[in-house]
Amino acid sequence: MPAVTHASRTIATLGVVVSLLALPSIARADDTLGGATQGTEQSAKTGDDGTVSVTVGGVVFDRSKNGSGGSTGALTSSTSWSPPPCWYAPKYTPEQLQKYLEPIWEAGSTGYEWDAKQREKYNADDEEKGFNKDKSGKGYWWGSYVNKNYPPGWDSCDEDYFWVDTGDAPPANIENAVTPEILAELAYAEIRVPGTEVTLAPAEATKVNLPTWAWLDGAEFKPVSVTASVPTIGIQATATAEPVALEIKPGTPDAETYPASGVCEINDGRIGEPYAQGKADKTPPCGVKYLRSSGDGTFPLQATVTWEIHWTGTGGAGGDLPDGEFGATQDVVVQEIQAINR
């Protein structure tokens, strides 16, 4: 970012150690906008309807329709796509930016030359118009925020603060400035889906050369969604994940899957079919047949559910995002069928 780059040169020449948290375009946990926490730390609120909203990096996430429970987990994209590692969003009113920057300049830690250029940029010497105070209530100073996990590229949002009038789109040359689509991508990263431990029949131990039925609890595998919004500028997007298929990998090459591809498509809102009496001679729509015993050990059966992701947002925007996957491994005991000789 310009602020950090220039400050780094100042440090090199003056030998002054400057904390990154003191520089203008780095997200801080105590940055505020309209009284709400805007930094990288989370703040949560529960409304009368039980909706939990969590504010992270200038964006409010509504997780009330997300997956819940101890077995839930985050999706892994089936492609190389990943959510934005950093983004820009409204950060300061004119008065708040002035209150934040002036103490930094007065401390002199960033160097006289840099401070002077900053004062000129923000017209700081004009009491009425400095920091765009003549536009108070008509826009915000935008700044960068960083994904709390600091993924690769987290430091790529290096633009200094910039002004956006209310109702205007952010500058076209600013990548990852919040739009409905960017919000949808951030909501994607917040989606949590149920665990994927499949129910097997027989339950305790499967038998060699006999089909084992596999299915997932249909009540758990229903669409989940997260809504991301920036209330200060009135935009939002909802990312929804819907389960579409279950892939089974038996954990040994000495096995056959049903269907042969190992991919069980969702049918009538459920994945697989529960076993019931009278189905012993039938082929399961989803399952596995082991061709040898696991001996004294087990086979690591891996079950992975594929979730399709689509989104809708402000102004009729919408589209698809890459499929996500979430899987788990469970140990399966496979026994030889015992015959009694008389």
Per-position DSSP letters for 125-140, written without gaps between them: T-TTTGGGGGGTTSEE
At 11, give phi and psi (nearest 5°). -60, -40
pLDDT along the chain (342 residues), means of 10: 34 30 37 41 46 82 90 92 95 96 92 93 94 96 93 94 94 94 96 91 89 86 94 96 95 97 87 87 92 96 96 96 95 81 45
β 32-33/86-92 pair status: unpaired
Q: Between vectors from CA 174 to CA 173 and to CA 175, what angle results, nearest 5°?
A: 110
Separation between Cα atoms, residue 183 and residue 235, nearest integer Å? 9
Dmax (CA) for the chain in angstroms is 105
Q: Residue 260 in contact with residue 295, Cβ under 8 Å?
A: no
Separation between Cα atoms, residue 330 and residue 303, nearest integer Å? 8
Structure tokens at 285: 């729509």
First-residue to last-residue Cα distance in the chain: 84
- The residue whose two tokens read 């000495």 is 254
Whether the link from the prior residue into 90 is cis, omega within 30° of 0, is no
If phi over 0 gives left and psi between -120 and 50 gives alpha, with beta otherwise, what is residue 205?
A: beta
Note the pLDDT of residue 45. Answer: 53
β 139-146/86-92 pair status: antiparallel
Note the pLDDT of residue 149. Answer: 87
Note the pLDDT of residue 218. Answer: 76
Note the pLDDT of residue 222. Answer: 87
Separation between Cα atoms, residue 228 and residue 236, nearest integer Å? 6
Q: Residue 194 in contact with residue 303, Cβ under 8 Å?
A: no
Note the pLDDT of residue 338. Answer: 66
Note the pLDDT of residue 68. Answer: 85
Q: What would the DSSP string read from start to end of 261-329?
A: TSEEEEETTEEB----TT-TTSPPSSEEEESS--TTS-EEEEEEEEEEEEEEEGGG-EEEEEEEEEEEE
Q: Between vectors from CA 55 to CA 49 and to CA 57, what angle results, nearest 5°?
A: 165
Separation between Cα atoms, residue 238 and residue 93, nearest integer Å? 27
Quick one: which of 157, 160, 181 has its CA closest to 169?
181
Separation between Cα atoms, residue 334 and residue 296, nearest integer Å? 9
Note the pLDDT of residue 51. Answer: 52
DSSP assigned state of 28? -
Strand order across the 139-146 sheet:
86-92, 139-146, 162-165
Q: What's the Cα-to-Cα distance from 254 to each of 200, 258, 300, rounded to whole Å?
A: 18, 14, 13
